[in-house]
Amino acid sequence: MIRHISIAVALLFAGCSAVPNIPTHPTAPSQSQTVRAASPAGGGAFSATYAGSYRLTVCASPDGDGSFKFSGLGTGSFIHHSIETGMLIGDVHQSCNWSGKVALTSRFHPQNSITMALSLRGFQSGTPCSPRFGQKVNFAVLSGTGRFARAAGSGTVVFACSNGNYTDQWSGAVTF
């Protein structure tokens, strides 16, 4: 019996010494073993609401261009709590078509921003601040910074103004 136990112990030691060291904790895979997945595009349906103050000059015939400058605070999809600053110019020679741009900048991470082109075409009269029958101002993403460096997208925004204060509602799609 002692002989059988001695043989079993000898085989156990021989088996253990034949196995290479097994780490007791996981190790990082080598570069050749690492599979890097492409980071998926972020974004999708975009909505936002802002409120703030504005200054408006209407298009005056025959040579006075209009301007609409606005700045406010709000929140939007992906950019969350943010600051909105923008300006549109109404060109009296183009039936007072309005165009300009707006920047949406994260309040807590100001390195993250999206800049969009705005346009209101074929409007004939009025301003971006009071479009007839809720006419929508078109937006198209021009550029972005930080996490929005590769931003793209488009949609509409509707402004409502009263006594130097405005609100707006954004809807569309933004990817980044």
Query: Where do the domains of the chain lie, and which CATH numbers do they carry?
Result: 43-175 (2.40.350)
Across the chain, the runs of DSSP E, i.e. the strands, are: 43-57, 66-76, 80-91, 97-106, 113-120, 137-145, 152-162, 165-175
pLDDT of residue 24: 46
* Tokens read off for 154: 């488009």
Q: Is the pLDDT of residue 118 over 80?
A: yes
Q: Residue 174 phi/psi, 5° resolution?
A: -135, 130
Conformational region of residue 164, where left means phi above 0, alpha means psi within -120 to 50, and beta covers everything else? left
pLDDT top residue among 67 and 123 = 67
Q: What is the mean pLDDT of residues 137-165?
A: 96
pLDDT of residue 2: 55
In tens, the pLDDT along 25-74 reads: 444 444 434 343 444 579 999 999 999 999 998 887 667 788 999 999 99
